[in-house]
Every structure is written in structure tokens, then in C-alpha cells.
Amino acid sequence: MEIRPIHTEADYKTTLKEISVLMESDPDLGTPEGDRLDILATLVQAYEAKHMPIIAPDPVEAIKFRMDQSGLSIKDLEPMIGKSNRVYEILNRKRPLTLAMIRKLHHSLGIPADVLIAETAAG
């Protein structure tokens, strides 16, 4: 069982193809194929963490995403942010979120607090 580190995009794609083939055969844990699948998946995770990091969303984009995901309107955000003009100011990046708004958005919408306290991208 020769397994090598993933150094290049070509190595990465080749490993993904091999993982796909192994997954189709659904090997049992503890078998040589199952062990190979486990090791290759670990290598892919390490490569992706290093070369394709997931960047946390901007707070305003996180709010907009949750609104879209949950079918929420500006009116639905008023209990958490304030009157509609304040909601529009937040969503248009004219005003920053306050600590009270962050707490309410976190508790009401389940948006992670660390996402809400991050710097807002320039609009």
C-alpha cells in the first residue's frame, strides 16, 4: 500500500478520484481498502486545510444569508436591530452592529457571535 503526501493540485485530483472509487466499493473498517480510504481522506483534509482554507463570512453577508435562508424580511430583523431605517443602515454598511444587536442576532437567528463581531467588509 504505497501512499504519498499530496503536494500538487494534480496529486489532489488523483487522490480524490481514488477516494471516489474506494467509496463506491464501501470497504469495511479495518480492511486494507478501508484503511487506505481513511488515510487518503486524512491526507485530503490536510491538503484542503492548508491550500483551501474556509474564510469566515462578513457579518452583514452572514445576516443576509440567514435572512435568505429563513425567508426573513427587514421587518423580522427589527426586534434585533431596531426600526427599519436602522436595519437598512446595517445591511448597507452605513452603521456598525452594536454589542446588543450582536447578542440579539446570535440568540434569535443562531448566527455565531464570532462571525458577527468580525470586521465588516467595505461596501
| pLDDT tens-place string over residues 67-85 | 999 999 999 999 999 999 9
Q: What's the confidence (pLDDT) of residue 54?
A: 82
3-state secondary structure 39-106: HHHHHHHHHHHHHCCCCCCCHHHHHHHHHHHHCCCHHHHHHHHCCHHHHHHHHCCCCCCCHHHHHHHH
pLDDT, tens only, 34-68: 999 999 999 999 999 999 988 878 999 999 999 99
Residues in the chain: 123
Q: What's the confidence (pLDDT) of residue 40?
A: 95
Residue in the structure block whose three cell numbers are 435562508: 69
Q: What's the confidence (pLDDT) of residue 118?
A: 87
